[in-house]
Amino acid sequence: MTQTGEAPATVESDASGHDCEYDVIVVGTGAAGSAAAIAAHDAGASVLLVEKCSEEEAGGNTRVSGGGWANLGDQETATRFLRAVCGDFPVAADVVDAWAREVVANSDWMRSLGADVAQCLQFHTKPEYEDHEGSECYLGMDAVGGALGNFGLHDFLRSALAERDIPVLWSSPASRLVTDGAGAVVGVRVAGPDGDRRYGARGGVVLATGGFQANAQMVRDYLRLTTTTLWGSPHSTGDGHKLAQAIGADLWHMDNMMTHRGLDVGGHGMFLSVYAADNYIFVNRDARRFRSETIAARHGHVIDGHGTELNPLHPALMVFDEQMRVAGPLGAGRDMLPVGWGLLMEGVTWSVDNSAEIESGVIRRADTIAELATLVGLDPEALEATVAGYNSACAAGRDDAFGRSPAKLAPIDEAPFYAIEVEPMLGWSNGGPRRDGRARVMNVWGSAIPGLYAAGELSSTYSWGKDGGFHIADALAFGRIAGREAADHARR
């Protein structure tokens, strides 16, 4: 596995001497890489998939995702919707057009591969950005079998690859791109179990290596987060970013990301469930509330008084009472939301009544608010004042300080009282090598690098906002575009 902080890949400039040659080489077996490989194969190309993880660990964020993709009604309205959610950070028109054209075709394409596609009725039945232009195109989120998570999309795509006999090199990280004398990508070097090999790609290489959220250095440099709890794959270390950068790729929207308030369970992120009751608040280290706790979370963004902002960006303490404790588990387990690396791959769990976490000290308990504050290192008087102020707002049915929805104002007034650290759990990064509407990676001067394509989270379309199911939709859409383009290039 490639380690965080590894030196950037160096560049080969001699096109001869491949160990083996294919029309198209795809790097990464997530949704984007699988879609690229299938599309290239179905366009008549010989394809090799290169994957850094073992078969048991491969598949990236796709493997542990919900696996749902946004089902958008028509191309023209989808174009307007994407432009609206990009807001002040527009992406190029050819990218928007290609995205809209392909995203609306995703469900039919999945059906054409034999998937049982149905709408997921549990989540994202309406748009998060309902107030944005074009949102009426959002028809919900489709998924294999209509069910989110539990490896559904990953397993289906893997069976589609197997059905086509597309070879996959497992445990074989791509370590550098091979270019010819003119700078065109003609192959890839792979550090596999049998040593260093060089594979030629007549039509080019598709990079689909996922995000950089598991690379602490890149997270610090680009996202300005110093600590992160990861929700998804620990193998998303930005390898493809380095491979592309090493041959002059430009980068786009590197500072965009998706965080969600989550729990750190044994080093893995778990979705924080606050749906069973409302007797809680979030406070900073100064023991004060800082925002409505129930503000609409739009995949790592909120719309506040001054527009759209990234949120959450820092840890907070969740303070709650016995009513909340008995209402249900704070950690969303497999029966609620079967996604995430910890839950699905490492078997981490959360107790139904939160008692195991109280016993282990993850949740701190005290008989009074002042004692609780002392236990967690907050100023007791400040926390008492905050809770009293919040409880008064509940009694009045109005939260003048932060505008929390009246329906969600439930007092923290039944002892014992509890506190737990909640994290800005990092789901994914969005930025990477800049690409055009044909999935061609652009160099810093604005020209396409011949033979290099990018798709998926490595280089997502999303410069700012995104709605439910947009990432899988983007990965499938640009994966197909990249695969077809590379296959076409091989024929020329």
Contact residues toward ligand FAD (CB under 6 A) are 2, 27-33, 50-53, 58-62, 64-69, 148, 173-174, 208-210, 231-233, 235-236, 239, 339-340, 427-428, 456-458, 469-473, 475
Any alpha helices (H) in 354-434, and if so which ranges? 355-360, 369-376, 380-396
In whole angstroms, how close is the CB of 193 to ligand FAD at the nearest point? 13
| Residue matched to tokens 């079967």 | 338
Residues contacting residue 395 through CB under 8 Å, at least 6 positions apart: 411
DSSP secondary structure string for all residues of 9-77: PP-B------SEEEEEEEE--SHHHHHHHHHHHHTT--EEEE-SS-TTT-SHHHHHS---EEEES-HHH
State which residue, 73 or 411, has the beta carbon closest to ligand FAD. Answer: 73
DSSP secondary structure string for all residues of 74-120: -HHHHHHHHHHHHTTS---HHHHHHHHHHHTTHHHHHHHTT--EEE-
Tokens representing 382 are 């400040």
Report phi then psi at 6, rounded to 5: -60, 145
Residues contacting residue 341 through CB under 8 Å, at least 6 positions apart: 64, 230, 231, 232, 233, 234, 268, 269
State which residue, 383 or 477, has the beta carbon closest to ligand FAD. Answer: 477
Closest to 46 (Cα-Cα) out of 197, 243, 200: 200
180: three-class secondary structure by DSSP: coil
In whole angstroms, how close is the CB of 411 to ligand FAD at the nearest point? 33
In whole angstroms, how close is the CB of 140 to ligand FAD at the nearest point? 12
Closest to 225 (Cα-Cα) out of 267, 249, 254: 254
Cis peptide before 450 (omega within 30 of 0): no
State which residue, 124 or 202, has the beta carbon closest to ligand FAD. Answer: 124
State which residue, 378 or 482, has the beta carbon closest to ligand FAD. Answer: 482
In whole angstroms, how close is the CB of 281 to ligand FAD at the nearest point? 26
State which residue, 171 or 294, has the beta carbon closest to ligand FAD. Answer: 171
In whole angstroms, how close is the CB of 39 to ligand FAD at the nearest point? 13
State which residue, 231 or 320, has the beta carbon closest to ligand FAD. Answer: 231
Q: How far apart are CA 420 and CA 404, in angstroms?
A: 21
406 DSSP assignment: G
Q: Taking a C-beta distance cutoff of 8 angstroms, is the pair 483, 26 a contact?
A: yes
State which residue, 409 or 426, has the beta carbon closest to ligand FAD. Answer: 426
In whole angstroms, how close is the CB of 119 to ligand FAD at the nearest point? 13
In whole angstroms, how close is the CB of 283 to ligand FAD at the nearest point? 26
Over its C-alpha atoms, the chain yields an Rg (Å, rounded) of 24
State which residue, 29 or 311, has the beta carbon closest to ligand FAD. Answer: 29
In whole angstroms, how close is the CB of 208 to ligand FAD at the nearest point? 5
State which residue, 244 or 339, has the beta carbon closest to ligand FAD. Answer: 339
In whole angstroms, how close is the CB of 36 to ligand FAD at the nearest point? 9
State which residue, 68 or 483, has the beta carbon closest to ligand FAD. Answer: 68
In whole angstroms, how close is the CB of 40 to ligand FAD at the nearest point? 15
Helix (H) or strand (E) holding 229: strand 229-230
In whole angstroms, how close is the CB of 477 to ligand FAD at the nearest point? 11
Report phi then psi at 197, rounded to 5: -125, 155
Helix (H) or strand (E) holding 186: strand 185-192
State which residue, 201 or 412, has the beta carbon closest to ligand FAD. Answer: 201
Q: How far apart are CA 135 and CA 467, in angstroms?
A: 10
